[in-house]
């Protein structure tokens, strides 16, 4: 009886060693998409009132965890019984990400009333602001869902040859790290100014080291947020382009002389603008029918 118990412990220890080893390999393979996930979600989670930043981040984080709980069992089942469906889901998600990235670039160059929208927000009631906040949170969770699918699929692909006893803990661990790690860093970024003010008020001296660091953090935040907006847009197009290049033969063989990162960006940008044009045309047709 005792020997059986110790044999079980030995098996568990061996399994944990295998999980740890495969988790390291999988983490390296998903590092790029995790970086894109950070840039995209930091941009999505910024721009809220200071008092609402943490509640908004918490709401998005809960949505992200729910996304993982939905995606993981479906991914394991599809991987086992219908692997081709995973490719279809990835490509559909890539179309959405490419569209989002292209729309951001389109809004930079084409007048779309953004300034008027910002001015009108000054006259919003608290209820209106909360309703707008809910819409932005929902949009952030939708984007997180698609990025989460990409993370889970890449992680699953790196352990595809392993038994289910390895696949489930490794991919689940990576998914958990993706949520806690990414949104933990996002929380630090959006609260940079608050931390900076605390450092400035730490003592009465005006030339202390804490004052210098505090002012640096406060002044850096707007630049960080603007940078994240640009990085987030590029990340959307890179992730989308990577999905198309890795899963569609036409794009995989297209422009082989270019470095993969440039090729993926161009593919994501091109597909994104095609989807954007289609969406704009469909919207116009629907609006014409409504007028009639």
Residue 14 pLDDT grade (very low, low, confident, very high; cuts 50, 70, 90): very low
> When comparing pLDDT for 263 and 169, which is higher?
263
Range with lowest mean pLDDT among 199-208, 256-265, 275-284: 199-208
Do 34 and 182 meet the contact criterion of CB atoms below 8 Å apart?
yes
Predicted structure pTM score = 0.67
Range with lowest mean pLDDT among 36-40, 67-71, 125-129: 36-40
Per-residue pLDDT of 226-279, as tens digits, reads 777 787 788 778 878 888 888 888 887 887 888 888 998 999 999 999 999 999
Do 178 and 34 meet the contact criterion of CB atoms below 8 Å apart?
yes
Quickly count: other Cβ atoms within 10 Å of residue 19's Cβ: 20
Residue 44's pLDDT is 65
User: Would you say the C-alpha torsion 41, 47, 50, 51 has a positive or negative sign?
Assistant: negative
Distance CA(159)–CA(230), nearest Å, equals 33
Average pLDDT, the chain: 75
pLDDT at position 5 over 50: no
> When comparing pLDDT for 177 and 129, which is higher?
177
Greatest mean pLDDT range, 4-13, 116-125, 236-245, 271-280: 271-280
> When comparing pLDDT for 23 and 39, which is higher?
39
Quickly count: other Cβ atoms within 10 Å of residue 43's Cβ: 25
> When comparing pLDDT for 27 and 213, which is higher?
213
Tokens of 199: 């450092």
Residue 27's pLDDT is 47
Residue 47's pLDDT is 62
Residue 29's pLDDT is 45
How is 213-254 classified by DSSP, letter by letter?
HHHHHHHHHHHHHHHHHHHHHHHHHHHHHHHHHHH-HHHHSS
pLDDT at position 215 over 70: yes
* Number of alpha carbons in the 13 Å side-chain half-sphere of residue 29: 18
pLDDT at position 18 over 90: no
Residue 123's pLDDT is 61
Percent of the chain past pLDDT 70, that is, above it, reads: 75
Tokens of 159: 């352990």
Residue 6's pLDDT is 36
């Amino acid at each position: 009886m005792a020997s059986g118990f110790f044999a079980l412990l030995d098996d568990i220890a061996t399994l944990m060693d295998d999980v740890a080893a495969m988790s390291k390999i999988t983490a390296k393979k998903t590092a790029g998409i995790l970086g894109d996930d950070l840039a995209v979600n930091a941009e999505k989670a910024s721009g809220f009132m200071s008092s609402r930043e943490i509640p908004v981040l918490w709401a998005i984080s809960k949505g992200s965890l729910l996304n993982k709980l939905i995606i993981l069992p479906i991914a394991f089942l599809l991987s086992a019984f219908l692997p081709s469906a995973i490719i279809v889901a990835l490509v559909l998600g890539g179309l959405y990400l490419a569209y989002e990235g292209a729309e951001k670039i389109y809004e930079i160059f084409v007048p779309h009333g953004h300034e008027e929208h910002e001015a009108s927000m000054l006259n919003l009631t608290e209820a209106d602001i909360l309703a707008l906040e809910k819409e932005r949170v929902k949009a952030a969770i939708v984007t997180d869902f698609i990025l989460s699918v990409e993370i889970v699929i890449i992680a699953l692909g790196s352990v595809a040859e392993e038994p289910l006893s390895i696949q489930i803990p490794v991919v689940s661990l990576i998914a958990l790290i993706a949520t806690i790690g990414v949104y933990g860093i996002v929380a630090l970024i959006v609260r940079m100014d608050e931390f900076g003010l605390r450092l400035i008020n730490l003592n009465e001296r005006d030339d202390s080291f804490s004052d210098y660091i505090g002012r640096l953090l406060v002044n850096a935040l707007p630049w960080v947020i603007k940078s994240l907006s640009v990085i987030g847009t590029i990340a959307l197009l890179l992730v989308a382009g990577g999905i198309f290049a890795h899963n569609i033969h036409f794009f995989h063989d297209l422009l082989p002389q270019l470095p993969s990162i440039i090729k993926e960006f161009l593919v994501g940008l091109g597909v994104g603008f095609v989807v954007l044009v289609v969406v704009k045309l469909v919207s116009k047709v629907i609006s014409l029918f409504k007028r009639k």
